[in-house]
Structure 1
Amino acid sequence: MFFINGQLMITRTSMPQSIGTVLDGMKRNALQAVRQTMQENRLQSAPMGIDVRMGWTDEDGRTRCGTVTGLNLDGERLKVQVRDHSLPFVLDEQQLPCGSHIWLMRLNDTIRNALTQKRQSA
């Protein structure tokens, strides 16, 4: 901060965020939005009525992809069931690649749309 002609001037001293940091923040926010949608609607599980494809990195570091068939909320952990995989796995933001916020937002929209349709048909 400094003064020019009696006016207080504030300078930006921090470095701009890297694109990776921004994308990680978007991914974190999108993952939290899915959690929040399920918690607000007291959903323990949500079957998927449409195809939502996702990608992730497995424990061996290999990139995988598949179609989400269901979603479970176990406390704070989101477990995803993927077609052709016998066991659900926990959605961990560290294992999700950059750009995952896009399909996470689609997943959240799918859950919200299913809830809206359920309310309208009741």
Structure 2
Amino acid sequence: MSEVKVVRDEQGNAIVIIPDIIFWNKQDIDWDAVKEYLKKYLGEIIENKQTKEKIEIGTKFADEYTGSKYSEHIRGARAKAKANAAQGIRELVESAANKIHSENKKSKHKKDAKGG
């Protein structure tokens, strides 16, 4: 497996390069396999380079990533891209820019920890 890299474009924007395709099926991604893959990040604390905010990968992360309403409905190349982007979660969080925060307003989030 090759190393995930972060490069910069002409405007200085970070681009995360995912060199390997580990989830192949475009038509029907095995989201359970993606969920298992994401569990390796559980408990990691990743610092965003721009905001210096520390993000802890919690127990709900794999379920939220693979079981979101968006994930349920995407197919083809978008599903394959999202599944394979799981390899670069650390780099994506570290290099994320232009933070926008919005409150979780759905009732399922009422029991979440503050800021979680």
TM-score (norm 2): 0.33
Give the structure with higher Rg (CA): 1
Specify which structure has the higher proportion of strand. Answer: 1
TM-score (norm 1): 0.31
